[in-house]
Amino acid sequence: MRTSIARVREDHGSVLVLGIGMAVLLVSVVTIAVNVTTIWISRTTLNAVADGAALAGAQAVSTDDIYRNGIGSRLVLDPGLATKRVHQYLSSSPVRQQMPGLRLVKVEVIRDRVVVHIAAHPNVPFGYFFSSGEVLAQSRAIAVNQVR
């Protein structure tokens, strides 16, 4: 009888330790889920902004090429004007308030298409869980100007 009472006394507080361990695990899982969701939403937002910037650039048709060669099935874009329109679109975008680190990485204008590369550092609520420091979200969009 004495041995069973001694065992009960040895187990005192083990449920508390288990409860604390489960609480730490739960908080860690929720924190990681919030971080991943924030990064995913930031990436989705960047995709929409990159699409809009590429479409704005794809509207920069080279009028000189139209006067020289006429209108074919594809319109040649003016690289300087397309890049300018991409910059204008990004500077007027309200996303800059959400992501202050939004930057244009590269604009490529290849005949009738515009390729826009953008990147930003999303504001991750629990960023201290990432050992590498800041998180970088990137997006790329392509727009083609065609005549139908």
Closest of 55, 66, 36 to residue 126, by C-alpha: 36
Which DSSP helix (H) or strand (E) runs through 81? helix 79-92
Closest of 124, 28, 43, 114 to residue 79, by C-alpha: 114
State whether residue 8 is helix, strand or coil. helix
Residue with tokens 């099935």, as numbered in its chain: 73
- Rounded-to-10 torsion of CA 109, 114, 120, 122: -170
Q: Regarding predicted confidence, which is higher, 130 or 55?
A: 55
* Residue 133 reports pLDDT greater than 70: no
Which residues lie across from 4 on neighbouring strands? none
In this prediction, what percent of the chain has a pLDDT beyond 70?
84
pTM of the model: 0.74
Stretch 136-141: mean pLDDT? 90
- Cα 124 to Cα 127: distance, rounded to the nearest angstrom: 5
Return the minimum-mean-pLDDT range out of 16-30, 43-57, 109-123, 133-147: 133-147
Span 69-105, pLDDT tens digits: 777 767 788 889 999 999 999 988 787 777 778 889 9
Average pLDDT over the chain reads 83
In this prediction, what percent of the chain has a pLDDT beyond 90?
37
- Cα 95 to Cα 106: distance, rounded to the nearest angstrom: 18
Stretch 140-145: mean pLDDT? 90
* Residue 61 reports pLDDT greater than 90: no
State whether residue 71 is helix, strand or coil. coil
